[in-house]
Structure 1
Amino acid sequence: MNDHPADFDRVLSQLPVFPLPNLVLFPGIIQPLHIFEARYREMVEHCLADAPYLALALLKPGWEADYYGSPEVFPIACAGKIVHHERMADGRYNIFLQGFQRIAIEEFVVDRPYRRARTHLLWDHAAAVDFIEIERQAAAIRACLKQLAIELPEVVHNIARVLQEVESPQQLADFVAYFFIPDCHRKQRILEALDLRRRLDETREAIADLLLHVYSELHKEEGGNPTRLH
């Protein structure tokens, strides 16, 4: 996304943070969200009136004890832009949030009624000598997806969509993590991996583990002993 406002540095210096316990956003993903708590309705109203950007951050384990306070979040998050919103009669919102870039939360500068943080954008990095390895890892992920489509025909459409729409290894890792990896903390590790080789490796490991689990569940009555897929 390249349509940031001229004062985007100001936006990043006080970026609203929406913490959730079980959702990790990635660049390029459009996430529907239902906003019902009063403090987060106020957050959306602020974003729509000022600049339509916020960060979606994953809550750290133990958040339940302080949910209505300020429970800890992982410091790497994804910034998103509100690309559509609908305000309901009772003040709740339905929004579409499009992730656009990883960010680091430096510190919280406002705590009530919702948190705002000083943040900065994060960028991927990979040395030129890594490109062959990166393509090899991406090919391995695609192979796992094709095998998953064979084992789970009900997800064929989603897999075909990902394989057709992704344009880069970066996007492949992010889309696979979002759509197919169920463990939110594993998703978070992939979000935090700025080294593209590491991100692809984490994604490949996760999708291979998922495929092995699916294969084991579907074929356990056959008495097979599937080997780990890489």
Structure 2
Amino acid sequence: MRLGNFENIRSGINPPRNNPKPALFPSPQTHVQTRAPAVTPRLSDSMNPIPAAPAYPLPDTLPVMVLADCHLMPCCLLPLFIFEERYRKMLAHALACHRMFCIGTRLGADGDDLEIFPFSTAGLISVCKTQPDGTSHVILQGLRRIRLVSWEQEKPFIVARVEPVTPSVSECVEKIQSLKQQALDLLPDIPGNAGENIRQLKARLGGTTCVDSACDILAYHFVRRGECMRALLAETVVEKRWRILIRELQQMRAA
């Protein structure tokens, strides 16, 4: 098992393709077995204020759930169904300590020479409902970007040593706000409930000054290509993230 090389996919320039994504705004779970501490935004608030990542300390190591073509961004929610025995053990471990794990995006085919993308997002178990058969429905809330440094454990589930990825800004706030507006203007204008959700999202993101989170939220809900998502996860400069996102939205609009 090895960590992948991200340099050749940073720009994410290949043509778009349609990949399934989670629902735009996941519905709140009812009759939950366990919840994160009260400072975590409620799922029913996901259409209200822009969800902010809680300020939880990042542990030195995190369990890793390996999935193909799956990515979590900070300030976003990922619904998961936990059924494999190794991930049941992983979930129990996480709930017993810091309530966190991350998604390790698998590159290529599964097998002995497993290659995992080295960038991810530390996720907080915001909601967990365990069924009588031992499976669980989980909502994972993205906290902050991380880099997977090395493996601390591979069996029964993977544990990685991680370090935080700190964003940087090299241009003025007005320029970044202009890039944000350019991306918002590229969002599709469609009828029905989906279109109304998009309009509400545009209004809320248009009013936020947290341009780092705004880029992540837009990418999570609208980007379909794994190569582009990985480029966005790996990029540390906020302006470059916006330009990657804008290029992808332009390609999607032209398709």
Shorter-chain-normalised TM-score: which range? Answer: 0.7 to 0.9
Distance 2:135 2:167 in 1: 36
Asked if 1:23 is matched to 2:78, the reply is: no
Asked if 1:80 is matched to 2:123, the reply is: yes
Tell me, what secondary structure is at the counterpart of 1:63? Answer: coil
Number of aligned positions between the proteins: 199
* Residue in structure 2 matched with residue 35 of structure 1 by the alignment: 82
Structure 2 counterpart of 1:63, which letter? A
Please give the residue correspondences for 1:67-146 in structure 2 after superposition, counting only pairs within 5 Å: 71-127=114-170, 129-145=171-187
Structure 1 counterpart of 2:72, which letter? L
* Residue in structure 2 matched with residue 13 of structure 1 by the alignment: 60
* Residue in structure 2 matched with residue 226 of structure 1 by the alignment: none
Shift of 1:210: 0.9
Partner of residue 63 from structure 1, selected from 109, 116, 119: 109
Change (3 A) 1:121 1:41: same
Structure 2 counterpart of 1:203, which letter? L
Shift of 1:181: 1.2
Higher RCO structure (Cα 8 Å, ≥6 apart): 2
Asked if 1:163 is matched to 2:206, the reply is: no
Shift of 1:162: 2.1
Distance 1:56 1:135 in 2: 30
1:37-86 Cα offsets, whole Å, 9 max, x none, are 110011001111112001112111x233x1xx572111010111001101
Shift of 1:193: 1.3
Moved more, 14-23 or 167-176: 167-176
Structure 2 counterpart of 1:157, which letter? E
- Do the aligned residues in 2 keep the contact of 1:162 with 1:175 (CA within 8 Å)? no
Asked if 1:196 is matched to 2:238, the reply is: yes
Shift of 1:30: 1.2
Distance 2:222 2:54 in 1: 28
Identity of aligned residues (%): 23
1:178-203 Cα offsets, whole Å, 9 max, x none, are 11111122111111111011100000
Greater share of residues in helix? 1
Change (3 A) 1:194 1:180: same
Shift of 1:2: 4.0
Work out which of the two has the higher radius of gyration on C-alpha atoms and give 1 or 2: 1
Please give the TM-score of this superposition, normalised by the length of structure 1. Answer: 0.81
* Residue in structure 2 matched with residue 179 of structure 1 by the alignment: 221
Which runs of 5 or more structure 2 residues have no equivalent in the other structure? 1-52
Structure 2 counterpart of 1:45, which letter? A
1:107-137 Cα offsets, whole Å, 9 max, x none, are 011010110011011111003x433321221
* Alignment root-mean-square deviation, CA: 1.6
* Residue in structure 2 matched with residue 221 of structure 1 by the alignment: none
- Do the aligned residues in 2 keep the contact of 1:59 with 1:73 (CA within 8 Å)? yes
Tell me, what secondary structure is at the counterpart of 2:138? Answer: strand
Partner of residue 92 from structure 2, selected from 45, 61, 65: 45
